[in-house]
Amino acid sequence: MDPVKVGLLGLGTVGGGTAIVLKRNAEEIARRAGRGIVIDYAANLDLSRAEELGLGSVRLTQDAFEVVNDPDIQIVVELIGGYTVARDLVLQAIRNGKHVVTANKALIALHGNEIFAAAQEQGVVVAFEAAVAGGIPVIKAVREGLAANRIEWLAGIINGTGNFILTEMRDKGRAFADVLAEAQALGYAEADPTFDVEGIDAGHKLTILSSIAFGIPLQFKQTYTEGITKITAEDVTYATELGYRIKHLGIARRTPKGIEQRVHPTLIPHRRLIANVDGVMNAVLVQGDAVGPTLYYGAGAGAEPTASAVIADLVDVTRALTADPENRVPHLAFQSGQLADTVILPIEEVETAFYLRMCALDRPGVLADVTRILGDRHISIEAFIQKEPSSGVDKVDIIMLTQRVREGNMNEAIAAIEALEAICSSVTRIRVETLG
């Protein structure tokens, strides 16, 4: 059979990795797919990149629309990023009856509902394994491998750049900006690295995971996102003293009131496997009612790990070329008419335990005032440490772990604590999860 002709949009980190791995493993890939998979046409702003990648015989253009409109191209691989041009390109490819593979989580999280509806209508596939947790085949695992389960919750380290920064800061005491610059040089970071460090990228990925886990439409706007930029070296040290590690987690959970969909720094007991996932590695813990806990681990970013997922999708789509569209795996795991309209809870309604740190004047009665404020709102203290001045003489750092409480109640308590005259800074709060 003739090889499948692929149009590759974007020859950057992931596009380059995809070209290299497709060529290096061409024979094995063809044995798996049933026919060869070749890049026939590629688009990139800088055409000299094609030479660097040894794409000698491949047709080249700076205009990606030429690729999606080319009648010879059967599968379009979108590795440009962003949600404007990428959306137009993907929708145009679908209109032209082409299958699409993308690593673009921003695009899927924001425009996936529209894109999948268009794909369904045209009878084409839009595959997006590389969009979540890079090389880890977690989309396939949740969508297909766990199809028997009612998924109860999932929690993941799903941004490689953020995890790399937190690990280097903790282990080597390196400065935030310095590690971020290295992550950019290594090709891990998004074009706008604010997406990585402010939790937006993880929010995109969590939105996708939550949708395929619970059978709900993609709802990025309802996802609570908080980044890692406010985590201090003191918090890392105090968390360690209390037996925890700070990780940037995406958490999606079913509750009787609705679905929690949130990304934020989280204290996790240091013995948990996921607390020991370091550097650019990602991990996703998924709890199914039948299977129990399952854990997926691997590189969350980088050229070849991400290419691994892109090419796995290419193989899947190649196999599906001859299959009846009615019998394909649904884009969002559940049949398109079967998505539920379960409410996503606002963060104020979510219950977690909390780590609190505050700076107080070293005078009698302050601690009693703080514990009274918490007690009045039925917030119990699980652990407590007081530290000698780090922020000036006659001051102390008070660090507490609380039991689980509704976030709205904690907001009230924090406001009352901050209003105390003896409290000299705003209260730092980090949510705590045992993930057991």
Ligand X SMILES: N[C@@H](CC=O)C(=O)O
Ligand Y SMILES: NC(=O)C1=CN([C@@H]2O[C@H](COP(=O)(O)OP(=O)(O)OC[C@H]3O[C@@H](n4cnc5c(N)ncnc54)[C@H](O)[C@@H]3O)[C@@H](O)[C@H]2O)C=CC1
The binding site for ligand Y (CB under 6 A) comprises 9-15, 43-46, 64, 79-81, 85, 103-105, 130, 134, 187-188, 190-191, 301-302, 306
> Based on CB atoms, which residue is closest to ligand X, 162 or 288?
162
Q: Which ranges constitute the DSSP H helices of 54-199?
A: 64-68, 85-95, 105-122, 138-140, 160-172, 176-185, 194-197
What are 250's strand-pairing partners? Answer: 156, 263
Q: Which range binds ligand X by CB under 6 A, 59-67, 156-164, 307-315, 409-417? A: 156-164
191 binds, among Na ion, ligand X, ligand Y, none (CB under 5 to 8 A by kind): ligand Y
Minimum distance of Na ion from residue 240's CB (angstroms): 30
Sequence-separated (6 or more) residues with CB below 8 Å from residue 117: 336
Number of DSSP helices (H) and strands (E) in the chain, helices first: 15, 17
**Smallest distance, ligand Y to C-beta of residue 297, A:** 16
Q: How many residues bind ligand X (CB under 6 A)?
A: 11
- The yes or no reply on residue 433 touching Na ion (CB under 5 A) is no
- In the region spanning residues 35 to 54, those forming contacts with Na ion, defined by CB under 5 A, are none
Closest distance of CB 61 from ligand Y, Å: 8
Helix (H) or strand (E) holding 319: helix 303-320
Q: Dihedral angle at the C-alpha atoms of 301, 307, 309, 313, nearest 10 degrees?
A: 150
What tokens does 319 get? 């196999």
Position 78 contacts ligand X (CB under 6 A): no
DSSP-based three-state secondary structure for 256: coil
Looking at beta carbons only, is 165 or 422 nearer to ligand X?
165
Judged by CB under 5 A, the residue of 40, 78, 129, 304 near Na ion is 129
Q: Would you count residue 199 as binding ligand X (CB under 6 A)?
A: no
Residue 261's DSSP bridge partners are 252
Choice among 105, 205, 247, 395 that is catalytic: 205
The angle formed by the CA atoms of residues 299, 312 and 131, to the nearest 5 degrees, is 55
Sign of CA dihedral 84, 342, 247, 149: negative
Q: Is 395 a catalytic site residue?
A: no
Q: Binding residues for Na ion, per CB under 5 A? A: 129, 132-133, 136, 309
List the catalytic residues.
Answer: 205
Residue ranges in contact with ligand X by CB under 6 A: 134, 159-161, 188-190, 196, 201, 300-301
